[in-house]
Structure 1
Amino acid sequence: MTPALPWGRLDGPTLLTARWVLGHADGQHVLLPNGEIVFENGTVTFAGHAYPGPVARRVDYGAALIAPGFVDLDALSDLDTTILGFDNGPAWKKGRVWPRSYLRAGPFEMYSEEELAFQKRYAFAHLLRNGITTALPIASLFYREWAETVAEFEAAAEVAESLNLRAYLGPAYRTGGMVVEDDGTIGTDFDEARGLRGLDEAIAFCRRNEGRANGLIRTMLSPDRVETCTPQLLRRSAAAAADLDVPWRQHAVQSAMEVGTVRRLHGMTTPEWLDSLGVLSPRLIVPHATAVTGTPRNPQPGRDLEILRDGGVSIAHCPLVSARGGGAISSFRRYREMGLNIGMGTDTWPADMLLNLQTGLLLCRVVENDAAACRAEDLFDAATLGGARAVGRGDLGRLSPGARADIVVWDLSAPHLGQIIDPIQTLMIAGRGTDARTVIVDGRASMQDGAIPGVDWDAWGARAQAQFDRMVALYPQRTFGHPPVEEIFSSAYPVRRPPA
């Protein structure tokens, strides 16, 4: 058992120490051997050695690293469906694009309100379990009637508050979607009025919930993928984000389908189109950006990256889900050297930010064919400082006086880690998200020794599987040609069931 803190808000200064502490000074993270962190009332008051003042309690975590919590700009908040497309394609044949026949029949919600609330609890708990202290949730709309609802995000706010997770919340909305026509061609289907109503509802949600739970709950605007949005929706989203003083997120330049659709509809690349609408700003977070011009996924010449950079946009780099789809940004070093702010997102199962950092580092070195293309701290900075910049928070992603006490204690004694000379490099080589031993958010313990109050990992896992199985059974209704489940999803090897 590791040392324990009292649950809930702590009275008086609390001092934490360990073999390593990742503090922050002179604009960068600094390693403090046998360092100390002191916090009170949710705020870091000291990071260094030999704290001179009195404290209410001291906790020594021994062979561990005390570090700032991760900021996840694209945090999985449902039961992951990317596993269904992992070895099953193309997407338009496998239920990842709605067929016209499903639209004619009338799309429907494949989860109940109770199930939607549960999957938020399940997903948010896993974010904390992996050292993520600030989350901007993302979920698939493929199994929804149209978009996310205010009711589920009111429930999500309650869940985040109860679990003590810092979250930026707002229901996703859209004015259209991709559709597979009866002849197998792929087109678009728009209902702008419905999408604008969704935006109005999202704005009302932001006004009600911004700053909830003493600032633990913040809000954002979340139009769905860029090819599903009309110009009016995007202009109004950008204006509303400025008026509300919240970030907004737009998935963009991430697929050949999107690139082709935007060019067909608007006669330009996605960044060119967004720029022409006047919506680029430092408030905008763009997940993925793997299909910008001048890259393997989009070899056409162009200035996509320069446009995004000059607009002050932040990129949410999600290397694991991109790599599973055969893609990567080209490259992490290039984006950084151009001056783009890069944060990190998980976007898929598992909610393991360390795995994403490791994948991002390896992809960068492979794409560049250069082991010196990026270092461990470059990715770690993106998951902490880059994410904090993306949401305009100088008080997150670092442990220095005045910062919020969002802290993760990483176990450095686990056998799989091997020998340690540098804790960050060690985590980037052999660490796992579940090496997070203790998670503290806003000065309150959210997890200790892998335990989160009210979370039964075994029972929740069984419930999630049953809920997922029911959703998968409905897939034929929204898959082109409506084949049986067995034809939509392959098996790695032949399945031979016992005789009846």
Structure 2
Amino acid sequence: MTASAQQALAALPLGKRPEGRTLLTADWVLAHEGDGHALLRRGEVVMEGGEVVFTGHAFPGEVARRLDFGAALISPGMIDLDALSDLDTTILGIDHFPAWKKGRVWPLSYVENGPYEMYSPEELAFQKRFAFGQLLLNGITTAAPIASLFYREWGETTAEFDAAADAAGDLGLRVFLSPAYRAGGMVLHAPGDMRPHFDEARGLKGLAEAAEYIARQAGRHEGLVQGLLAPDRVETCTAVLLRETFARAEDLGVKVRLHMAQGVMEVETVRKLHGSTAPAWLAQEGLLSERLIAPHATNATEEDQKLYAERGVSIVHCPLVSGRGGSSLNSFSKIRDMGVNIAMGTDTTPPDMLMNLLAGLITGRMNDGAPDRLLTRDLFDAATLGGAKALGRSDLGRLAPGARADIAVFGLDDVSMAPSIDPITTLVTGGSGKVTQAVFVDGRLSMRFGEVAGIDMRAARAQAQAQFDRLIAQYPARTWGHPTVEEIFPPSYPIREARNA
């Protein structure tokens, strides 16, 4: 980036739209032409207010300022439809097995004593603000938040999501959200013996609260906040709750995100409860449609995949989290060729979409047994156009006149990256979220060179660590047999403390 452009960027008010037209240029611009993206060498993007008004070369009009990012790619902002919005507890399961023994399932003794919240209302509000800042640092401009309900009393609350809406407005992040709810949960009755417990009335109450939240919050902060109904997981829902969910979604005009076909425990539980896989069960209930967004599909059978294709269901591919757990989408190219729309999610910290695209490329090619059926552009499309299609928003995920000015700028000259001829291949195979230089959301400058509007990320990181430490200290009460923290989460290697002199 030229020195003059750096000065011009630094002069822009963080968290606000610059006045007048702003022209962005770089060595590469990923614009939208016809049915897909096209690379413009030394292209230009002009935005005014919250909208893109021009993409191409040699803009003929007047502009208030020009920002030349040099060796960079100006791209549509990434869309993350499984964006972690709490402090990441999935990392606790990477080396610690089995899950029931490591505090990942409620023991019966805990349920009988009465579940409780492990976080205060202030901590719940903070962790979403911190997570939203991390998304912006990684070039993500649109997110559908997700969080674990394990450490909750039951579901999420409207109070914490009111705070989340305000955080999205303050930081400048486009969000589709409402509090997650459920009609049941898995309970550990004995070592390895996990059974579902249901309270349908509580689930219906959560749905009503989520619908009220959407009616009240959708459209706030100049449209950055939109609704999405988010029942927790398919095995925690009853048919009544899901039928009511889709009916309310139709009334509200919103999508439904429901995790399914994502793990062995879910598959076994749903078969015991309903005699089929989750997608087949929802098809029998008449609930598979374009309204459904379904992470993760790693355990989807061929029949399930066909049902997704026939009914217009979008899946959310989270290859990094899936791969860490020993599973993968089988396969990206196969499901794509069947006509299933594929969006992307990160579902962990850091929410590094570029890292996820590389993980998706690697696992996809391994499942194909060949390298030529899946290209880097396929993953990039999923993180932009696929997410926009899943949300039903043709004005997102692309840079074209009339689209919202949701833009990420990725540096291509980081010293850790190899020289390249193609910016997409370079970023997917050798980049990371750390090369994100600037992010505009709806025309607002939300992030520049690690500085995020509305939050001091360095101070927030220290606060997050202290909050996480307090969370870990509570794990024994929610773990079978109540072992110590050290027994639940032993270190990778023995720890030796310094001896006193």
In structure 2, how many angstroms separate the alpha carbons of the residues matched to 1:499 and 1:412? 47
Quote the offset at 1:499 in angstroms: 5.5
CA distance in structure 2 between the aligned counterparts of 1:262 and 1:454, rounded to whole angstroms: 43
Residue 421 of structure 1: aligned partner: 421
| TM-aligned CA deviation for residue 458 of structure 1 | 2.3
Cα distance in 1, alignment partners of residues 213 and 429 from structure 2 = 41
CA distance in 1, matches of 2:387, 2:334: 18
Deviation at 1:197, TM superposition (A): 0.3
Q: Equivalent residue for 1:345?
A: 345
Moved more, 415-424 or 384-393: 415-424
Match of 2:328 in 1: 328
Q: Is the 8 A contact 1:70 1:134 kept in 2?
A: yes
Matched, 1:93 2:84: no
Measure the CA separation in 1 of the matches of 2:265 and 2:200: 21
Match of 1:131 among 132, 135, 139: 139
Runs of 4+ off more than 4 Å: none
Equivalent of residue 115 in structure 2, options 103, 107, 110: 107
Indicate whether 1:69 and 2:44 are aligned: no
In structure 1, the partner of 2:470 is 470
The one-letter code matched in structure 2 to 1:373 is R
- Which SS does the other structure have where 2:47 is aligned? strand
For normalisation by structure 2, the TM-score amounts to: 0.97
Q: Secondary structure at the match of 2:451?
A: coil
Aligned counterpart, 1:354? 354
Displacement of 1:187: 0.7
User: Aligned AA for 1:252?
Assistant: M
2:213 alignment partner, SS class: helix
| Cα RMSD after superposing both structures | 1.1
Which position in structure 2 is the counterpart of 1:436? 436
Question: In the alignment, what sits opposite 2:29?
Answer: 21
Aligned ranges 1:29-44 → 2 under 5 Å: 29-44=37-52
Task: Report the Cα offset of residue 373 of structure 1.
Answer: 2.1
- 1:498 deviates by 4.0
Counterpart CA distance in 2 for 1:271 and 1:151 is 32
**Which residue does the alignment assign to 2:495?**
495
- Once the two structures are superposed, residues 18-57 of structure 1 have per-residue CA deviations (whole angstroms, 9 ceiling, x without a partner) of 1111101011100000000011121111100011111111
Query: Secondary structure at 1:9's aligned position in 2?
Result: coil
Give the corresponding residue for 1:312.
312
Point out where structure 2 has 5 or more consecutive residues left out of the alignment: none
Tell me if 1:57 matches 2:55.
no
Deviations 1:238-271 (A, max 9, x none): 1111110011100000011100000001111111
Tell me the CA shift for residue 62 of structure 1: 1.1
Q: Could you list the per-position Cα deviations for residues 380-433 of structure 1 after superposition, in whole angstroms to 9, with x for gaps in the alignment? A: 000000000000000000000110000011111211112020101100111010
Distance 1:28 1:454 in 2: 34
Q: Report if aligned partners of 1:87, 1:490 keep a CA contact under 8 Å in 2.
A: no
Identity percentage of aligned residues = 58
Report 1:354-393 matches (<5 A).
Answer: 354-393=354-393
Residue equivalent to 1:6: 12
Cα shift at 1:476? 0.8
- Choose from 301, 316, 333 the match for 1:293: 301
* Aligned residues of 2:133 and 2:457 also touching (Cα < 8 A): no
Contact 2:279 2:307 in 1 (8 A): yes
Aligned to 1:299: none
Q: Out of 271, 282, 285, which is 1:274 matched to?
A: 282
Would the aligned equivalents of 2:309 and 2:338 in 1 still touch at CA under 8 Å? yes
Count of residues in Structure 1 that have an aligned counterpart in Structure 2? 492
Contact 1:74 1:287 (8 Å CA) reproduced = yes
Contact 1:101-1:182 within 8 A present in 2 as well? no
Quote the Cα distance in structure 1 between the aligned partners of 2:31 and 2:301.
38
- 2:120 counterpart of 1:120: no
Alignment of 1:246 onto 2:254: yes
What secondary structure is seen at the aligned counterpart in 1 of 2:226? strand
**Partner residue in 2 for 1:297:** none
Contact persistence 2:262–2:297 (CA under 8 A): yes
Number of the residue aligned with 1:300: none
Contact 1:221 1:249 in 2 (8 A): yes
